């Protein structure tokens, strides 16, 4: 006895077809036309698209940052993900500069224990190297890979907090190359930005929008080029996170054309929000849009969409790092103290569908590739996640392309008291969501509710595959 999803259109990264999907226990037993109904529970997917559950590879749940802690813990964050059709997240564990990677991993596993509601994995952010020539920490990277943590994050921004220097970055890249691991890079020139920030503060420019104005697209482009060049020297595969603008995109493409093993994501906010629209001046509410890299001028959106369509950018994530407006108030009168980050994990698929597929910018198959299949392949979990195929986890999203949904903070699952997309009506929404074979969301009969048990989410061990670039 299984669950048989009938009458829907199965959309994969490579094509679409009228097919049935049979779930047996936690996995997909079969995908094909005309699977016999006898003995199975039938789920009628008439008018719906049947796709792999989304994978958001960039979240910050329960993360200490900017003098506070991100507002979604593993329960609210993964429930919000599920309600929006995302069935796996990859979150970031942060090494304390004085501590070990093992300690960081234990802290993050504890945060998620008995709380995660859908499956999750972790990247490990390396912030310091211990031992002669970093040997202790570099040695720990092997242990991390053995635990299934096969991607390492390096911050080129946030001086004195998370930022690493080029020596550290290069050593980690060399080690990652030896381990077939992937280096994820926050690419902004933090030192140059800090100079501009100090000058702005000295001039009395303290309102939220100066956060954005202090962080030039060129600072992102310079760091993007530097990170990829260093990775190429080290023989490592690199993945640029939250690429936000055309300058950085040009740097990425320049290095890709020269054979660098360089992949990149952008995030929904850079595709649909802009500096002019959201940060026009001196309003305090603009603190809700203070994240890093910041919003960019609107003209940057089109090149980002084109790069998603032509493959220069491979993933759309969210960089979900939510803070309430109360938390943002830490930076009233001084934009440096506004906790950086915005909420988005719940709305990623709605926005990508509405502004991508409905607008004719990407095909439904590309939507699947960008939201699930590429993330699984790049981050070494394609044997479990990211596609609807026999033997894979039954993370199945029934998507209603006709459903209209109005985004509102008052009805969202995320723990913030505002939405960056307040009042926007999108067409296309998750109808039903299965996580490892269990119906965890039914937006038709119980909209916005998470139906599974708290703590049911499992840690996903990933393979070291150098981002699939060999």
Q: Which residues bind ligand URP (CB under 6 A)?
A: 60, 186, 291-292, 319, 321, 340-341
Site for Zn ion contains 220 (CB under 5 A): no
Tokens of 125: 């952010």
Which backbone phi and psi does 49 adopt, to 5 degrees?
-100, 140
Cα–Cα nearest to 317, from 241, 239, 215, 231: 241
Q: Which does 462 bind (CB under 5 to 8 A by kind): Zn ion, ligand URP, none?
A: none
DSSP letter assigned to residue 319: -
3 state SS for 293-315: CCCCCHHHHHHHHHHHHHCCCCE
Candidates 8-16, 142-150, 183-191, 262-270; binding stretch for Zn ion (CB under 5 A): 183-191
Q: What is the enclosing helix (H) or strand (E) of 80? A: helix 74-83
Candidates 172-180, 192-200, 312-320, 414-422; binding stretch for Zn ion (CB under 5 A): 312-320
Question: Of the candidates 40, 171, 175, 186, which one interacts with Zn ion according to CB under 5 A?
Answer: 186
Residue 109 CB contacts under 8 Å (≥ 6 apart), including other chains:
459
Minimum distance of ligand URP from residue 385's CB (angstroms): 22
Name which of 60 and 261 has its Cβ closer to ligand URP.
60
Q: How many amino acids of this chain bind Zn ion (CB under 5 A)?
A: 2
Name which of 293 and 457 has its Cβ closer to ligand URP.
293
Minimum distance of ligand URP from residue 210's CB (angstroms): 15
CB contact at 8 A, 286 and 292: no
Minimum distance of Zn ion from residue 450's CB (angstroms): 24
Q: Which does 458 bind (CB under 5 to 8 A by kind): Zn ion, ligand URP, none?
A: none
Name which of 184 and 415 has its Cβ closer to Zn ion.
184
Q: Using CA atoms, how far apart are residues 266 and 344, in angstroms rounded to an integer? A: 13
Q: Which does 118 bind (CB under 5 to 8 A by kind): ligand URP, Zn ion, none?
A: none
CB contact at 8 A, 89 and 457: no
Minimum distance of ligand URP from residue 70's CB (angstroms): 8
Q: Using CA atoms, how far apart are residues 311 and 366, in angstroms rounded to an integer? A: 10
Q: Using CA atoms, how far apart are residues 450 and 433, in angstroms rounded to an integer? A: 10
Minimum distance of ligand URP from residue 63's CB (angstroms): 8
Minimum distance of Zn ion from residue 60's CB (angstroms): 5
Q: What is the enclosing helix (H) or strand (E) of 354? A: none
Q: Using CA atoms, how far apart are residues 288 and 338, in angstroms rounded to an integer? A: 9
Name which of 112 and 384 has its Cβ closer to ligand URP.
112
Minimum distance of ligand URP from residue 88's CB (angstroms): 18
CB contact at 8 A, 153 and 184: yes
Name which of 60 and 296 has its Cβ closer to ligand URP.
60
Minimum distance of ligand URP from residue 26's CB (angstroms): 32
Q: Using CA atoms, how far apart are residues 239 and 161, in angstroms rounded to an integer? A: 21
Name which of 119 and 319 has its Cβ closer to ligand URP.
319
Collapsing DSSP states into helix, strand and coil, what is residue 19? coil
Beta-sheet strands, E only, within 244-334: 262-267, 315-317
Q: Using CA atoms, how far apart are residues 442 and 272, in angstroms rounded to an integer? A: 27
Minimum distance of ligand URP from residue 413's CB (angstroms): 20
Site residues for Zn ion, window 313-352 (CB under 5 A)?
319
Cα–Cα nearest to 403, from 344, 447, 359, 449: 447
Name which of 63 and 388 has its Cβ closer to Zn ion.
63
**What is the DSSP code string of 210-268?**
HHHHTS-HHHHHHHHHHHHHHHHHHT-EEEE-S--SHHHHHHHHHHHHTT--EEEEEEH
Q: Which does 291 bind (CB under 5 to 8 A by kind): Zn ion, ligand URP, none?
A: ligand URP
Q: Which does 340 bind (CB under 5 to 8 A by kind): Zn ion, ligand URP, none?
A: ligand URP
Name which of 60 and 247 has its Cβ closer to ligand URP.
60
Q: Which does 341 bind (CB under 5 to 8 A by kind): Zn ion, ligand URP, none?
A: ligand URP
Name which of 37 and 334 has its Cβ closer to ligand URP.
334
Binding site for Zn ion (CB under 5 A): 186, 319
């Amino acid at each position: 006895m299984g669950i048989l999803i009938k009458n829907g259109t199965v959309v994969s990264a490579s094509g679409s077809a009228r097919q049935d999907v049979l779930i047996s226990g936690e996995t997909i037993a079969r995908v094909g036309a005309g699977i016999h109904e006898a003995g199975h529970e039938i789920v009628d997917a008439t008018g719906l698209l049947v796709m792999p559950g989304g994978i958001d590879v960039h979240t910050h749940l329960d993360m200490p940052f900017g003098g506070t802690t991100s507002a979604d813990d593993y329960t609210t964050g993964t429930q919000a993900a599920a309600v929006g059709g995302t069935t796996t997240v990859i979150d970031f564990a942060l090494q304390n500069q004085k501590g070990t990677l093992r300690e960081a991993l234990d802290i993050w596993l504890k945060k998620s224990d008995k709380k995660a509601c859908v499956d999750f994995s972790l990247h490990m952010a390396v912030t310091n190297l211990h031992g002669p020539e970093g040997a202790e920490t570099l040695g720990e990277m092997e242990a991390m890979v053995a635990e299934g943590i096969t991607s390492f994050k390096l911050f080129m921004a946030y001086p004195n907090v998370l930022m690493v220097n080029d020596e550290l970055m290069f050593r980690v890249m060399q080690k990652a190359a030896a381990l077939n691991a992937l280096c994820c890079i926050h690419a902004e020139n933090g030192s140059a930005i800090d100079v501009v920030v100090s000058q702005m503060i000295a001039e009395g420019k303290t309102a939220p929008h100066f956060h954005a104005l202090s962080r030039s697209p060129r600072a992102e482009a310079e760091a993007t080029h530097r990170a990829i060049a260093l990775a190429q020297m080290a023989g490592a595969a690199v993945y640029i996170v939250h690429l936000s603008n055309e300058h950085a995109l040009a740097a990425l493409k320049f290095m890709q054309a020269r054979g660098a093993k360089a992949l990149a994501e952008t995030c929904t906010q850079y595709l649909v929000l802009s500096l002019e629209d959201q940060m026009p001046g001196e309003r305090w509410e603009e603190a809700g849009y203070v994240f890093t890299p910041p919003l960019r001028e609107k003209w940057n959106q089109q090149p980002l969409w084109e790069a998603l369509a032509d493959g220069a950018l491979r993933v759309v994530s969210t960089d979900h790092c939510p803070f309430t407006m109360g938390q943002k108030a830490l930076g009233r009168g001084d934009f440096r103290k506004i906790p950086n980050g915005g909420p988005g994990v719940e709305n990623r698929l709605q926005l990508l569908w509405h502004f991508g597929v409905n607008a004719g910018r990407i095909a439904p198959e590309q939507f699947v590739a960008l939201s699930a299949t590429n993330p699984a392949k790049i981050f070494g979990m394609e044997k479990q996640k990211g596609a609807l195929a026999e033997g894979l986890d039954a993370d199945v999203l029934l998507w209603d392309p006709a459903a209209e949904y109005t985004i509102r903070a008052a009805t969202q699952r995320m723990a913030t008291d505002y939405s960056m997309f307040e009042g926007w009506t999108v067409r296309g929404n998750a109808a039903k969501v299965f996580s490892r074979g269990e119906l965890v969301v039914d937006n038709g009969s119980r909209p916005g509710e998470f139906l599974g048990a708290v703590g049911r989410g499992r840690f996903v061990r990933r393979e070291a595959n150098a981002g699939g670039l060999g």
